[in-house]
Amino acid sequence: MWESVFEKMVSRLIRSGELRVTYPDGQTKSYGPGGDLAAAITIRDAAIIRGLCTRPDLTLGEAYMDQRIVVENDDLEGLMRLVLRNRYETVFPIWVRVFNQMRFRLGHWIQRNTPDLARSNVAHHYDLSNDLYKLFLDEDMQYSCAYFTDPSVSLEEAQAAKKAHIAAKLMIEPGMRVLDIGCGWGGMAITLARDYGARVVGVTLSENQLALARERVKEAGLEELVDLRLQDYRLLNEPFDRIVSVGMLEHVGLPHYEEYFSKVADLLTEDGVALIHTIGLTCPPAAQSEWLVKYIFPGGYVPSLSELALPIEKSGLWNCDTEVLRLHYAYTLRHWLKRFDANLDEVRKTHDERFIRMWRYYLIACYMTFEEEQQGVFQFQLAHKPTAVPLTRDYLYRGAPSTSHRRQAAE
């Protein structure tokens, strides 16, 4: 039964390109009219076919991790591009669509990131190993979308450009108190203190990140300017001239958006400016990848622009500017995958082959989503007053003062 359901589903799915499937009994069938897009898989376990018909997203990822599905030449990118370019909602059986709708409707329960759950979810991903992340991130360990002024620039240049772009939007002056919500390994906090003379408080829920970030602050001689804490942002109660949050909103969860933006408003001074940088959808809201939530980001959620507009409005803050970064994260993820693959011998010293397949699946699936679907990165510039920032973006591109000038001003 399930094989016939699977064949019908795949036959409807592949409208351009070709998918070649080798079944557990050795029989090979091709689906689609052919063309430039092509991929081939071997299904080693008959039980997988039922999973592909009932929970295709979770099953494909798990079966690849367990090698119960083998992709020819390990061309995950080719397989995912073929599927994503052909995918449309009604191709899946009714029970798959109902299940996804139920998961979406239960989002407020699934993403109930209370302080305890939030810390547990963060630990699942960010407390894996600092050494693992060092193998594929840039030297400053920026684990978020870089800013590519040109696709050919290095990852280090693009991450430095990201921090400079954000700092320009924040218009930081020496001595300002800056809050970094989700400070990671401390790169943004160090940059804002060292190069702009800011006094930075950074909060994170990751013990591994905090330990390394504090080491880096000490090595940089910035202990008087940078205060890093293992603390939930919701427990803060002090004023800040500037607030920055990069790649953290995705972990807040749909039920907590009003709470999040309300807290930003409460902590921001009357003349203050906040910059919120997050992955987002430019299409209607949808259920998150079941595989990604289970294995990579429990409690995570990528919001649509429409889901963020209302909580921002309710916060009372002015949305002074919204910028959408297109494809920048795809370029970033491709750099990460290249570095990860180049360091596989080191990864194998601490992680097994299943973990490697899981991590490669994660990185490839993510950049495929940015390249093939309506997903990008939003930067919201928020303030209590419409006059808190210039009326146009011209100030961002006139050229910022030199680092030495900022240091002198700080002194």
* C-alpha angle 168-173-174 in degrees, rounded to nearest 5: 135
- Based on the residue annotation, tell me whether 366 is a catalytic residue of this protein: yes
Strands 28-34 and 240-246 come out as: unpaired
CA-based R_g, the chain, Å: 23
Half-sphere exposure of 163 (CA within 13 A, CB side): 23
Question: What sign does the dihedral 46-90-17-55 (CA atoms) show?
Answer: negative
Closest CA to 63 of 72, 73, 52: 52
Strands 375-383 and 177-181 come out as: unpaired
CA distances from 213 to 45, 160, 335 (A): 45, 17, 23
228: amino acid identity, one letter:
L
CA distances from 184 to 229, 240, 241, 305, 371 (A): 11, 19, 21, 25, 26
Q: Are 364 and 337 in contact (CB under 8 A)?
A: yes
Beta-bridge partners for 69: 43
For 380-394, b where at least 16 C-beta lie within 10 A, e where not — what string?
bbbbbeeebbeeeee
Catalytic residue among 53, 183, 320, 366: 366
Catalytic residue positions, numbered:
366
